[in-house]
Amino acid sequence: MDQSVRPSRSEVEAAFRTIIRWTGDDPDRDGLHETPRRMARAYEEYFRGYNEDPEAILSKTFEETEGYDEMIVLRGIRFESHCEHHMAPIIGRAWVAYIPSGRVVGISKLARIVEVYAKRLQIQEKMTAQIANAIDHVLQPQGVGVVLKAEHFCMTARGIMKPGTDLVTSRMLGCFRDSAVTRQEFMSIID
């Protein structure tokens, strides 16, 4: 989005005041007086991923691996996101794997890639692909596997209201797509 057309903080706070009025409450009453300011700050946090560059995060790699060429898996990375259809929370976990081609990345960078994409308006399918595609593009490994499991509040807390239901998505690239053995090894690690 062009930053020159991005609304100001005061415009955002005014919009939240309007939403409070629309719900039937008074944005000027004691308990709500500071809420528009708090909501603006919260939304900055919820959507901070738009201000981060995934490729820059993955750009620092290490080549001193002694020829390590086996699967690297970071399991159960907790994430919070928001669906782009209702702006309702998506709460889940991610499993990210790759098989290096000479270069590895610090494991915290894998968690940060999940976080960058989670902190944007999302659908889970797109987020799964974005994580895998970024790792594949920057690291150019032999293969990448990403699995996300998440509960979508747009379905569990509204609409059809089916709490306890989660969505599972996966993206397999390179040897994770081409080799049933590699894919099965990765999938067996997911709990």
- Residues recognised as catalytic: 83-86, 124, 152, 154
Q: Are 143 and 177 in contact (CB under 8 A)?
A: yes
Residue with tokens 């960078």: 109
121 token code pair: 């308006």
First to last CA, the chain: 38
Q: Are 157 and 163 in contact (CB under 8 A)?
A: yes
Element (H, E) at 10: helix 9-23
Q: Residues with Cβ < 8 Å from 116, sequence gap 6 or more?
A: 49, 52, 54, 57
Q: Which amino acid is at 161?
A: M
